[in-house]
Structure 1
Amino acid sequence: MKRALIITYYWPPAGGPGVQRWLKFVKYFREFGIEPIVYAPENPNYPLIDENFSSEIPSDIQILKQPISEPYRFAKFFSKKKTKQISSGIISKKEISAMEKLMLYVRGNFFIPDARVGWVKPSVVFLSKYISENAVDVIITTGPPHSLHLIGMQLQKKMDVKWIADFRDPWTTIHYHKSLRLNKASERKHKALEASVLKAADIITVTSPTTKKEFGMITETPIEVVTNGFDVSEKIDFELDSSFSISHIGSLLSERNPEVLWKVLAEICKENNSFKNDLQLKFAGAVSDEVNQSLEDFHLLKNCKFLGYISHSEALKMQHQSQVLLLVEINSAETRAIIPGKLFEYLSAKRPIIALGPKESDIEGIIAETNSGKFFSYWDDDTLKSEILHLYEDFKKENLNVSSEGIEKYSRRELTKKMASLILN
């Protein structure tokens, strides 16, 4: 077996989507000739916790841990709620306070590429010693946080070992990058570090075709698209919701606020009392103040159920129970490359998907390819309304289904096979 050292910030008991990608690869690697060794922080400051993920770690793999200094831990003394929001990526569009401006400025300009950069130097020292005493065939770094790629770059140069840089999200083109109040020097440093990583890595893996295209303009390093996916889990016991439920799993950030959808739903409720009585909007995860306000403005709060953060197993059950699954991405050119991990679990649930996002989004291609639902831009009022009415009509006939196809290639096992081939070759 080839030995792969995986350097990751997110690892159980972390919750949310960031932990799942490499947890699942590790879960299946041995089937494809890869022995994983995981390196993760000993005392991380995770915004979300899900203890259930720990049960999926193979019992006998080696896990290396080292302490990490977390700036967000100290920032909490000033504003615990705002610190957690910023560390989770929830940056308000409303006028922000002087303290928030200061926190964003410090985060963007003093911690480059991110707040975990202080972990780079001690990690390189620790892992250099480990690699010198233990055979390692390949190093894999996964970001964000993108500072972990600096660990890989230094180890590759120092230890002469193959290095794969895995990008779950873009770097300088990520949607919140412009919110960090970067000065020109900091912006140049981000771009220089990004280019250095992309040019030094032996292989780059990304989760979307658009990110591959963007990175391909910076480097000649081979780039492979290995999307996120879904686990083929044991049978989930569920009953479909009796209401016309439209469910969203995951955070609804300030800018991830599909007012066109709220407007359409409000119109239908006004026109159709039966629809108004049947409609239930279910939200699992953080919901920003802006989204809450919009729902109130459109008189939809009575139709809403806010569940907060739920465990992954609960989320899977909710996806299967729901009549319709909602996927929302920020309406910005910078988010065309973002394919939320929940899309693939939505595919597995085999419920109709309504997705909203920017034009030319990579999400649209996957939904069309798999015949799993419909994708809309933020301006498609009429077609969106027509689709919701069509879904509701099928719901009333007890015939609301979807005939998805070709989703098997997005299973975690198939994706692990693809990732393993990059390590073995």
Structure 2
Amino acid sequence: MKILIIVYSFPPLNRIASQRPFSWAKYWSRLGHEVTVLTKEKTGEDGPLNLEYSPNSLKDVRMLELKAWPFRLKRSDANKLNNISILHQLRRYIDACRVLGHADFWGFSAVRMVSKLHSVSPFDLVVSTYGPYGSHLVASRIKRSLKIDWVADYRDLWHGNHVRPKKWPLNVIEDNFEKHFVKSADLITAVSEGLNNKLSARFNRIVYTIENGFDEDDLPAGSEERYFPDDGKIRIAYTGTIYKGFQDPSPLFEALAGLKQKGCQVEDKIRILFYGSRMGNLHNLINRYGLDSMIVTPGFVSRQECLRIQRSVDALLFLEWEGPSGEDIITGKIFEYLYSGRPILSVGGGLGKQPGLIERYGAGVALGNSPQLIADILEKIIGGYKISYRLSEEQLKQFSRKYLAEKMLSLIMEWKWSRRVAQDDPKNKTAG
């Protein structure tokens, strides 16, 4: 098949969202399909552009990168003059009110480009993944104008998004806007059963679940070597973004502060490491609980270094999603953690799918929002207790990016075959 993948997040953009479409391009091309990736040309405004990957991964993939429209309110520097602060506030207001964002305008010239390519060598399939909106908008226009089969994939909700919810009347506009464009999709896929249930109810149709996962090829050379000094410290690491208002390490910090006050050896023995550039209100919480001697914030590191860190610490910290839709979310980060071979301490939430996933496969413990429960397990760890990790290689296979990319392609091929059989059935042909 000739497959066109339309996506905003794609390497070298170093975001967890880049990895899902990257795995499709990589593994579908290895299966002999002709894959083209249509994406926005990345700039520093999009995020860190240092996601490392082997050039051989995309050696048979055609890349098409389009420039975004040349307008955007720049992020302000807090140290600049007052008028810049006003501009920043204006930008935040626009972000809250608009239905489309800067990342959605890169695709306006895409349909013309795809039409030219299609006239020379027709595409058999278009796959787009949300978010942001632009990917589905472009794919919908291509579907309508060129009549190419279209798979609309969801990593998050569009209408009803838990991070950027819209208020009336924008929520009504957004709802109708999405339904108008996505109704022409031939297949809809989602990353979790929770999202699947919500999307199938909204669109009144079958939605298929293709989970996130982890690509074993991403493991760096020497990833088994010790990253930290052998100094007797117990290291627990969090890697990634913390979304203020949705993820909260406060129960952990309260437990640490309580152990410190109790006279436990927590200051001498434990180090909690937070790696990432977007840490929400983490530093305020560290100061509030007086934990600067135990909490380390090295900042952003490359993904390869991040994977080495994950495999070198004593345990990994996972912050469960709080609030509405938390039970629907299974992040790509959890699969990195599962592949690390290190036990996971899940803090927060309590009703979500991810703590259940962690405990079901024996990959760690879900501690919820109880500072006492967290303090008890930390005290045991200081005393030499080892949290078990029982996830087998056979169990991990179902979370392999390769397996999941092949699963998605099999779903698409089966749908195409079923449609062809139905079209060839004499009962479905018009007499005459």
**Deviates further, 123-132 or 232-241:** 232-241
Corresponding position of 1:194: 178
Whole-Å Cα distance in 2 between the matches of residues 190 and 238 of structure 1?
A: 49
Query: Where in structure 2 are the equivalents of 1:234-313 lying within 5 Å?
Result: 236-239=223-226, 241=228, 242-255=232-245, 256-288=247-279, 290-313=281-304
Q: Displacement, 1:293?
A: 1.0
Structure 1 residues 207 and 71: alpha-carbon distance in aligned structure 2, compared to 1, 3 A threshold: farther
Query: Unmatched 5+ residue regions in structure 1?
Result: 83-96
1:102 maps to which of 90, 105, 109: 90
1:356 maps to which of 347, 355, 358: 347
Corresponding position of 1:207: 191
Check whether the contact 1:323–1:400 (CA below 8 A) recurs between aligned residues. no
SS for the counterpart of 1:53 is coil
Check whether the contact 1:37–1:61 (CA below 8 A) recurs between aligned residues. yes
1:142 maps to which of 122, 129, 140: 129
Structure 1 residues 257 and 118: alpha-carbon distance in aligned structure 2, compared to 1, 3 A threshold: same
Check whether the contact 2:13–2:42 (CA below 8 A) recurs between aligned residues. no
TM-score by length of 1: 0.87
**Deviates further, 118-127 or 13-22:** 118-127
Structure 1 residues 362 and 63: alpha-carbon distance in aligned structure 2, compared to 1, 3 A threshold: same
Whole-Å Cα distance in 1 between the matches of residues 52 and 323 of structure 2?
A: 34
Whole-Å Cα distance in 2 between the matches of residues 384 and 188 of structure 1?
A: 42
1:117 maps to which of 94, 104, 120: 104
Q: Displacement, 1:386?
A: 2.5
Whole-Å Cα distance in 2 between the matches of residues 81 and 122 of structure 1?
A: 35
Aligned length: 399
Whole-Å Cα distance in 2 between the matches of residues 274 and 364 of structure 1?
A: 28
The answer to whether structure 1 residue 417 and structure 2 residue 416 are counterparts is no
Check whether the contact 2:4–2:126 (CA below 8 A) recurs between aligned residues. yes
Whole-Å Cα distance in 2 between the matches of residues 388 and 273 of structure 1?
A: 10
2:376 maps to which of 386, 389, 402: 386
Whole-Å Cα distance in 2 between the matches of residues 31 and 376 of structure 1?
A: 41
Structure 1 letter corresponding to 2:185: A
Check whether the contact 1:230–1:344 (CA below 8 A) recurs between aligned residues. yes
Check whether the contact 2:13–2:46 (CA below 8 A) recurs between aligned residues. yes
Q: Displacement, 1:101?
A: 4.2
Q: Displacement, 1:353?
A: 0.5
Whole-Å Cα distance in 2 between the matches of residues 15 and 38 of structure 1?
A: 17
Check whether the contact 2:136–2:181 (CA below 8 A) recurs between aligned residues. yes
Corresponding position of 2:117: 130
Structure 1 residues 81 and 65: alpha-carbon distance in aligned structure 2, compared to 1, 3 A threshold: farther
Query: Where in structure 2 are the equivalents of 1:8-157 lying within 5 Å?
Result: 8-44=7-43, 45-53=45-53, 55=55, 57-69=57-69, 71-72=71-72, 74-76=73-75, 79-80=76-77, 99-110=87-98, 112-157=99-144
SS for the counterpart of 1:75 is coil
For residues 328-360 of structure 1, give each alpha carbon's deviation from its aligned partner in whole angstroms, at most 9, with x where no partner exists.
134112333222211101111111101134343
1:372 maps to which of 355, 363, 369: 363
SS for the counterpart of 1:38 is strand
Identity percentage over the alignment? 22
2:338 maps to which of 344, 347, 365: 347
Structure 1 residues 289 and 165: alpha-carbon distance in aligned structure 2, compared to 1, 3 A threshold: closer
For residues 293-325 of structure 1, give each alpha carbon's deviation from its aligned partner in whole angstroms, at most 9, with x where no partner exists.
111111111112212111111010000011110
**Deviates further, 234-243 or 141-150:** 234-243
Corresponding position of 1:89: none
What is the root-mean-square deviation in Å for CA atoms of aligned residues? 2.3
SS for the counterpart of 1:184 is coil
Q: Structure 1 residue runs of 4+, over 6 Å off?
A: none
Q: Displacement, 1:54?
A: 6.2
